[in-house]
Structure 1
Amino acid sequence: MTEQLYILFCESPVQANKVDEDFEDQFISAKENGFETLLVNFDDLTSIDKFSIATKRIKPVDKLSTVIYRGWMLTPKQYSILYNDLLSKNYKLINNIAEYQNCHYLPDSLKFIENVTPKTVFQKFDNENAIDLLIENSKVFGQKSVILKDYVKSEKHDWETACYVENASNIDNLKQKIDNLIKLRDKYLNEGIVVREFVELNYLTIHSKSGMPLTEEYRLFFCNKKLVGIYNYWEEGEYNLTKPDITEFEQIATRVESKFFSMDIARQKNGALIIIELGDGQVAGLPDKTDINEFYKQLKICCC
């Protein structure tokens, strides 16, 4: 008998027992493709004093069953709470706690992609000298341009003020933009700061709202080492109708210690493809032009 598979979505913050409207299309497609659906209260899960009731509407099952979370980003600690709570009800999230962090935090994923991604340094914010240490480590870039992000997200829509640094050797400018990033990320800052070599990518257009440059990038999803799909990352700009050859990245995916993850790739100005980053597949967003029904159809195939 085929195992029943579950997708766990975030509950609406304003209406109990209803899916968050941002995930409504995915909720419908998941059900249409044979997944059972569950709901978790995201606000409770991420609350200091209410996390224990986040899954109160989920009833235990008799047989250990696989569940895939498709919702808003969680810190590893929050994911750990969800993982253990669901396990007590006989549901096992597709990625264990270590596998989640492997792809959610860029520094943790470097061991899988270091040879095919831009040069990267990072520093955890666990002491008062963290920024000074990061500045010191950034000297490896010399006068090259770099981009900034925390362990998970950048502020790329504040491209000039908190993401792109034209010359890494300009210490004052580098420090100012790190400070800007920290202020913008505020309480959502993930662990520490990452500095990465800026690589010239194949240009598409300028973002209509933020003014940031959009380049030829793709998001791939893998489940159980199999490709779920490849999707144009941006909704603006003219992509080639023919998707790139991703044979190399499918081989790399077999070595990533995660059962469900995303992989963002991009074409450099010289035509070569590189990996930008990995992400846990449960919290990685679907690009705007994704055929959602086809995504869940292929996800079901890869899960079986």
Structure 2
Amino acid sequence: MLLLVPADVLRPRRPDEHFADEAQAARYAGIEVAVVDHDALTGGGDPDQAVGRVPAGDDAVYRGWMLRSEQYTAMAGALTARGVTLRTTPRDYQRGHELPGWYDTIREHTPDTVWSDGDGRESFAAAYEEWGSGPAVLRDFTKSMKHYWDEAAYIPADAGTAGAWGIAARMRELRGDDFTGGFVIRRFESFSGAEVRTWWIGGECRLVTAHPDTDADLPPADLDVSAFAPAIRALDLPFVTADLVRHTDGRWRIVEIGDGQVSDRPRSTPAEDLITALIG
């Protein structure tokens, strides 16, 4: 295994401080670590230069800041030219990173969802009409603006198409250049308690942690994720996270699937635990 992490902006030969503990844990475990220039990958730089410090190797795993699917594809191409094989292919990255890639496979475990083709008003209106009725939560293919709940995330049942578009337009404005794919409309469900992040490698749950947004709220000791295993195995993805939260009726629900390479680790979980899980 080869671990790739973003380079520190000021000290480009060293790992970014946010991922330094994972890099150190990997080295202690005998895993080679290399840095990549994340800013070059996301800022239109040369992908070959961005991975210029990466040695050849198999089973490379990226642990870093989020990349758009096309940016990950560019990184993968540059790595291939250097003799580096990523564990997660560009196609698999997109399937795990963007909601349309995973929704159908886990739909019985997650809120009902529709999405638009692009960010235009007409395509949003078509998706909203398909949606039907009831309160909804809005996001794009990769992220919501939940911290702007009333103005850019929650669509009340009585919003109407014009009102819903006003919320969508505000979300689009806030997402800016990070907006990905189209508008996603998800049925609002009533949840209680903090989210739990589960880490799945090769279709097996290897780690259960707090969610990074609430890292002091540790998962309940009796949490059983086995009910989700068949669906997540069916995704056939090498490394994903599934965020769970308890419905007010007592069921656990999946609220998000993410590519594990760009899913943040809560600080309450030691880096060694994640590296051990990745080694298998």
TM-score by length of 2: 0.93
CA distance in 2, matches of 1:200, 1:54: 43
| Local SS of the residue matching 1:34 | coil
Say yes or no: does 1:299 pair with 2:278: yes
Corresponding residue for 2:68? 75
Match of 2:210 in 1: 232
The count of corresponding residues between Structure 1 and Structure 2 is: 279
Asked whether the 8 Å contact 1:31–1:37 carries over to 2, the reply is: yes
The yes-or-no answer on 1:16 pairing with 2:12 is yes
Q: Which stretch shifts more, 129-138 or 10-19?
A: 129-138
In the TM superposition, 1:169-208 aligns within 5 A as 169-202=159-192
The 3 A distance-change label for structure 1 pair 148 and 92 is same
Residue in structure 1 matched with residue 123 of structure 2 by the alignment: 130
1:156 correspondence with 2:146: yes
Q: Is the helix fraction higher in 1 or 2?
A: 2
- What residue is the counterpart of 1:248 in the other structure? 227
Amino acid at match of 1:13: V
Deviations 1:226-272 (A, max 9, x none): 22201122426755642411111122222112111111111100101
Moved more, 227-236 or 35-44: 227-236
* Structure 2 SS opposite 1:192: coil
Q: Deviations over 1:33-85 (max 9, x none)?
A: 232101100111123243331111223x3xx5110000111111111111111
CA deviation digits over 1:92-113, x for unaligned, max 9? Answer: 1111111111110011111211
Amino acid at match of 1:44: A
C-alpha separation between the residues in 1 aligned to 2:122 and 2:214?
Answer: 40
Equivalent AA in structure 2 for residue 57 of structure 1:
R
- The SS at the match of 2:43 is coil
2:135 partner letter: S
Q: How far, CA to CA, are the matches of 1:232 and 1:157 in structure 2?
A: 19
Alignment of 1:92-171 (within 5 A): 92-125=85-118, 129-138=122-131, 140=132, 142=133, 144-167=134-157, 169-171=159-161
Deviations 1:182-210 (A, max 9, x none): 010011101111010010012xxxxxxxx
Name the CA shift for 1:236/1:7 in 2 (closer, same or farther; >3 Å).
closer
2: distance between equivalents of 1:280 and 1:10? 16
Q: Which amino acid is the alignment partner of residue 223 of structure 2?
A: P
Amino acid at match of 1:75: R
> Residues 148 and 195 of structure 1 are in contact (CA less than 8 Å); yes or no, is this contact kept in structure 2?
yes
Contact 1:7–1:35, Cα closer than 8 Å, also in 2: yes
Distance 1:102 1:223 in 2: 15
Answering whether residue 253 of structure 2 is matched by residue 274 of structure 1, we say yes
Please, what is the CA RMSD of the aligned residues?
1.9
Q: In 1, distance between residues paired with 2:216 and 2:17?
A: 27
Determine the structure 2 residue equivalent to 1:212: none
Which letter maps to 2:84?
Y
Correspondence for 1:56: 52
Q: What is the distance in 2 between the residues matched to 1:14 and 1:191?
A: 33
8 A Cα contact 2:198 2:243, kept in partner: yes
Q: Structure 1 regions of 5+ residues with no counterpart?
A: 203-214
Aligned-pair distance for 1:31? 1.6
Distance 1:258 1:241 in 2: 26
Cα pair 2:59 2:86 within 8 Å, conserved: yes
Using the size of structure 1 for normalisation, the TM-score is 0.86
Residue 210 (structure 1) aligns with = none
Instruction: Give the C-alpha shift of residue 127 in structure 1.
Output: 5.6
